Amino acid sequence: MFEDDPNRPITLEDVSKLKYAEAIVKETSRIRPTVPMLSRYAAPNGLAGYTWPTKMLFIMYFRGVNNNPRYWKDPDKFIPERFYGSQEIYKDSFLMFGRGPGICPGRKLAMLELKVLLASLYRKFDIDMQAPLKVRTSTITMCKELNIRIISKEKTC
């Protein structure tokens, strides 16, 4: 897409065409969500057809949902094509930004930023990543060690 000029600014039209970049972002989040769990108190009018005691705390484990083998074939494998094309994604089997009334209000801006970041990096650099990625997960997932080699695509004289 940017072969003509790797230095020109990325436009909104460009971003709308970055479907595979979006698939990469979603698959990355499916395997290793930034926020692996979230807690919510039961609604006063019930939840899932049941009435729960007031102040009942529920913990939603996103990573467990996003990697459930009931919904995902080879859930531990990185396959961005799951989100690119016609593969069916089961309702509520992918919780990148939450769900329902508590869904992240900044989700569209976050996706736009992530796609632009990927496009900006990969149009100027080749990145050689040495697996495995070492992370630590608590309230959020943090990278502890990232072994990469960054190679500029700029032509040298």
- pLDDT tens sequence across 32-62: 888 888 888 877 776 677 888 878 888 888 8
pLDDT band at 17 (very low <50, low <70, confident <90, very high): very high
Question: Does pTM surpass 0.75?
Answer: yes
Is 142 among the domain residues?
no
The encoded tokens of residue 59 equal: 């913990």
The domain in which residue 80 lies consists of 12-126
Is 110 among the domain residues?
yes
Is 74 among the domain residues?
yes
Cα 68 from Cα 81, distance rounded (Å): 17
Is 139 among the domain residues?
no
Report the sign of the C-alpha dihedral through residues 132, 29, 20, 85, in that order: positive
The encoded tokens of residue 12 equal: 């909104």
The count of domains in the chain is: 1
Residue 155's pLDDT is what?
62
Please list the residues that pair with 58 across neighbouring strands: 40
Is 2 among the domain residues?
no
* CA nearest to 27, candidates 100, 97, 96: 96
Residue 157's pLDDT is what?
42
Is 156 among the domain residues?
no
Is 65 among the domain residues?
yes
